[in-house]
Amino acid sequence: MFIKRIEKKNKGSDRVYTYYRLMESYRTPNGPRQRKILDLGALEGIDPKDHKKLADLIEDKVNGKERLFSLAPHLEELASYFASLIVKKDLVKPDSYAKDKRQINDNCINVYESSIVALSTKTIGAEYIGYSMLKELGLDSFLATLGFSKTHIELSILSIISRLVYPQSEHATKYWAQNISALDTLLSTSFEHISQNALYRISDELLLYKDQIESYLAQKQRDLFSLKDTILLYDLTNTYFEGLALAPKLAYGYSKEKRYDCPLITLGLVIDHLGFVKHTHVFEGNVSEPKTLYDILEFISDNLNKPTIAIDAGIATKDNIELIKQKGFDYICVARNKNSFKNLDFQEEKLLDDQTLSLYKTDEEAVLYVQSKKRQIKEQSMKSKAKTAFEEKLKSIIKRLKSYDKALEQISRLKEKYSLVSRFYTIDIKQENNTVKSIDYFLDEEKINERFNGSYYIRTSRTDLDEKQIKDLYSMLVRVEESFRSIKSELGLRPNFHQKERRIEAHIFITTLAYHILNAIIYRLRSKGIHYSFSTIRTIMSTHTLNTISLKTKDDKQMYISSCTQPQEIQKQIYEALKLKPVPIERKSIIK
């Protein structure tokens, strides 16, 4: 083997690009010939004087020959990588030498133990279950109907599955695809020459078909899992950006991760009570939650029947309740203002676990008053911590500051920071000639205890439901929080480092596509009694790998064996629950 220098110039450019190929000489009846074995790229950082050493080392590793002395670590590492590619891609000699290659049968073969070399170990378990669910959802076939080429479909699968299994940057995804994962083997392709730009471009292309893809997946999941779409849950979350992102939709605002130093963008999510996504929408980072509902209802009106819409208190304004009714939907939400319902004539109390339920009905609306002991304990703890911290910092201000302006400024900031309890305090600052004479504060114990007593009111237009049914229906909103947690933490939605708006939205869309697969996997596993989080499943499956080893036989032939590790018992259970074979790729052995 030897390394050949190649120079190339693109049309319309004077720039010359240099890269290298691993070549091989062989004899034919018409004389000696050369053939390309592998493209090696630019070989940056490798001295041309070392090219022969590198070529010889690659050949030795492919043939399983051991050296008495090792070369420089960077040459050893690079040679091992290229040798594993040659073995994996089965890059053998021309047909005149093909007779030396044969499939191994079950006969016993004697080998030299010292010649056994582990060439590569790549993860395959999590990729296998993700790719299998993607195929079951038919996403690859649907992309073909949209005009995606085979290469673009493979890049789309890489983008989505990497987000599911290894949620990192495009640069890290490239390394993962080439060096860590066996996804390329599952797809019967090679990611050897992919670039970051290719991953950026494929995310842009997927975003162009966002509405079609989401509509297809919603319908496919409806058919595959027999979903009824009788209840839809809607909520928003935001994610922050590191760096100098200048996209129009980015804005500073209330951050749910407390990152007020970073620009934000907001994601609106419509799911059913089982967590299956129906629609997503990207809003400005400082958007007012109530103002987002109109766009969502327009989509739901055009694409679905008339389900019950569940929303949280932040969206449930009087105008939005009227809007939902005008669109012909039923609604369920927590009342924004407790005082409006205090004097209603509630029916007799009913006990449900640790909760006391009281119901009030009219012809148009039912109001459920819920008193929860567990919630009361939690709220009392929140109140106590916030109250103690607020008062300690307030006392510090009282001791330190004599300037009226500075005291007023710091107290205003303190009230904003502890808004959970500060509105129940009256703070009286007496001053003379801009000097603080005294600061007194008073707490309205009755109002703060009423706020943190573990009670709340649920409003709904579903007057056909009893107390338990209303409570259970509202409890489904917890599923939205679970979905956001999966999207943000397990699938790496945050933080986001992109600068261009289309890239930002593409990043979010790729993440929600991965969530489609995640939720389908979780749903099927839970139906079989397996209740792990996806992060736990991902960890469990990470030890199922595809290994390639080389060894030399006693008759001087080189043997290569590629096989998956034996799945552990829990891995077998997961495969069985997902209706998958426990062996992602069949064992392959060859002799050269």
**Banded pLDDT at 576 (limits 50, 70, 90):** very high
Same domain, 254 and 274: yes
Residue 409: pLDDT over 70: yes
Task: Say which residues have a Cβ less than 8 Å from residue 275's Cβ, sequence separation at least 6.
Answer: 479, 482, 483, 519, 522, 523
Q: What is the pLDDT of residue 581?
A: 94
Cβ-defined contacts of 165-173 (< 8 Å, 24+): 165/123, 165/126, 165/127, 165/130, 165/538, 167/490, 167/491, 167/492, 167/511, 167/514, 168/492, 169/497, 170/196, 170/199, 170/200, 171/196, 173/199
In a domain, 585, yes or no: yes
Give residue-wise pLDDT tens across range 6-18: 888 776 677 787 8
Flag the least confident range among 5-14, 444-453, 576-585: 5-14
The mean of the pLDDT values for the chain is 85
Same domain flag for 458 and 497: no
Is residue 336, in this structure, part of any structural domain at all? no
Inside any domain, residue 61:
yes
| Residue 449 sits in the same domain as residue 359 | yes
The pLDDT of residue 460 is above 90: yes
pLDDT for 150-206, tens place per residue?
Answer: 999 999 999 999 999 999 888 899 999 999 999 999 999 999 889 889 999 999 999
Instruction: Say what the pLDDT of residue 533 is.
Output: 92
- Residue 501 pLDDT more than 50? yes
Q: Name every residue whose Cβ is closer than 8 Å to that of residue 305 and which is 6 or more positions away in sequence.
A: 229
State residue 283's pLDDT score. Answer: 85
Q: Is the peptide bond before 73 cis (omega within 30 degrees of 0)?
A: no
Q: Are residues 396 and 295 in the same domain?
A: no
C-alpha Rg value of the chain to the nearest Å = 32
**Residues 279-283, mean pLDDT to the nearest whole number:** 89
Is 200 part of a structural domain of the chain?
Answer: no
Encode pLDDT of 304-335 as tens digits: 568 899 998 889 888 999 999 988 899 999 88
Domain boundary (408, 442, 462) is at 462
Q: How many distinct structural domains can be found in the chain?
A: 5
> Helix crossing, 501-527 with 196-208: angle to 10°?
80
Q: Determine the Cα angle at 501 with ends 495 and 504, to 5°.
A: 30
pLDDT given at position 433: 86
User: Residue 67 above 80 pLDDT?
Assistant: no
User: Which pLDDT does position 495 carry in this prediction?
Assistant: 52
DSSP per residue over 367-382, as a string?
A: EEEEEEHHHHHHHHHH
pLDDT reported for residue 104: 46
The range of the structural domain enclosing residue 52 comes to 2-100
232, 278 in Cβ contact below 8 A?
Answer: yes
Q: So what's the pLDDT on residue 100?
A: 41
pLDDT tens profile 428-442:
989 888 888 888 999
Instruction: Write down the pLDDT at residue 191.
Output: 92
Bridge partners (DSSP) of residue 357 are 350, 370
- If asked whether residues 284 and 141 sit together in one domain, one would say no
Residues 440 and 350 in one domain: yes
For residue 137, which of 498, 513, 421, 396 has the smallest C-alpha distance? Answer: 513
Please give the share of the chain, as a percent, with pLDDT higher than 90. 41
The whole-number pLDDT of residue 98 equals: 38
Tell me the mean pLDDT in the region 518-523: 96
User: Hey, is 510 helix, strand or coil?
Assistant: helix
Report the C-alpha gap between 496 and 199 in whole angstroms: 15
Convert the pLDDT of each residue in 89-113 to its tens digit: 666 543 333 334 444 445 677 877 7
Contact predicate 508/214, CB 8 Å: no
Q: Determine, yes or no, domain membership for 14.
A: yes
pLDDT at 345: 85
User: Residue 286 in 3-state DSSP?
Assistant: coil
Listed residues 413, 444, 462: the one ending a domain: 462
- Residue 260: the pLDDT is 59
Residue 441 lies in a domain: yes
Domain annotation covers residue 107: no
Is 304 domain-assigned?
yes
For 508-524, what is the mean pLDDT? 95
pLDDT mean over 339-367: 86
- The 10s digit of each residue's pLDDT in 202-232 is 999 999 999 999 999 999 999 999 998 888 9
How many residues make up the chain in this entry? Answer: 592
Least confident of 21-30, 98-107, 478-487: 98-107
497 and 468 share a domain? yes
What's the confidence (pLDDT) of residue 102?
43
Give the closest residue to 134 by CA, choosing from 103, 160, 102: 160
Tens digit of each residue's pLDDT (9 = 90 or more) over 248-261: 566 665 655 556 55
Q: What is the pLDDT of residue 198?
A: 92
Residues 369 and 432 placed together within one structural domain of the fold: yes
Domain shared by 153 and 68, yes or no? no
Domain match, 21 and 53 both: yes
pLDDT-derived band of residue 296, with 50, 70 and 90 as boundaries?
confident
One domain, residues 316 and 222: yes
Statement to judge: residues 271 and 250 lie in one domain: yes
**Whole-number pLDDT of residue 386:** 92
Where among 462, 489, 507 does a domain terminate? Answer: 462
